[in-house]
């Protein structure tokens, strides 16, 4: 676990410092699950948009924001890989391989569902225990990155996950799919009064 200091105000308005712990598993597994489930719903909306506009869904699947960026299919594949492989590395286990052969929205949604199901099999305690353990991971065809587990999660896995998730959202929004911030955020665990 990794802790942070928070300042809490007492009735006398004097700040006091208290230690707050937040585990690596809590900082990652629910984030991946909620975000990937939201992405699946966004893909549902993309399918409905394509049907309503009489657009071949493969047009959306192969759309990209810029010629030198990956298309939607690859953005979804990378987002799921980051959640799956990043979590597995932190847990000290081998992630199941995916073939990266999805060609339909339905196949992408199946990949997302498989990833969410896999994440539920991981032991949160193993992920939590990785904060100070060195994680080695490939960076391109010849290099290997090395980071402590907490840095790997906070400065590599989560930012990259959000980059590809956001890019997938942006591609579909750019293509006219009627989605917004609430679609991107998904089922945020909060109470409303």
Determine the pLDDT at residue 12.
Answer: 54
Residue of 139, 190, 168 whose CA lies nearest to 45: 168
CA distance 74 to 59: 14
CA distance 136 to 107: 30
pLDDT digits (tens, 9 = 90+) for 1-43: 445 444 444 455 666 555 556 799 999 999 999 999 999 999 9
CA distance 9 to 67: 52
End-to-end CA distance of the chain: 32
Q: Where is 46: in which H helix or E strand?
A: helix 24-53
Determine the pLDDT at residue 108.
Answer: 98
CA distance 84 to 97: 9
């Amino acid at each position: 676990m990794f802790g942070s200091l928070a300042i809490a105000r007492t009735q006398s308005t004097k700040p006091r410092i208290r230690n707050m712990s937040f585990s690596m598993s809590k900082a990652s597994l629910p984030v991946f699950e909620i975000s990937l489930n939201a992405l699946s719903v966004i893909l549902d909306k993309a399918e409905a948009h394509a049907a309503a506009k009489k657009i071949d869904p493969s047009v959306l699947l192969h759309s990209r924001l810029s010629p030198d960026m990956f298309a939607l299919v690859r953005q979804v594949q990378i987002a799921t890989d980051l959640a799956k492989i990043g979590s597995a590395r932190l847990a000290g286990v081998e992630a199941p391989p995916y073939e990266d052969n999805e060609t339909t929205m339905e196949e992408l949604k199946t990949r997302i569902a498989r990833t969410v199901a896999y994440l539920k099999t991981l032991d949160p305690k193993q992920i939590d225990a990785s904060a100070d353990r060195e994680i080695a991971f490939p960076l391109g065809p010849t290099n290997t990155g090395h980071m402590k587990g907490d840095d790997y999660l906070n400065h590599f896995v989560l930012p990259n996950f959000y980059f590809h998730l956001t890019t997938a959202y942006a591609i579909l929004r750019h293509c006219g799919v009627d989605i917004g911030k609430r679609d991107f955020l998904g089922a945020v665990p909060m109470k409303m009064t």
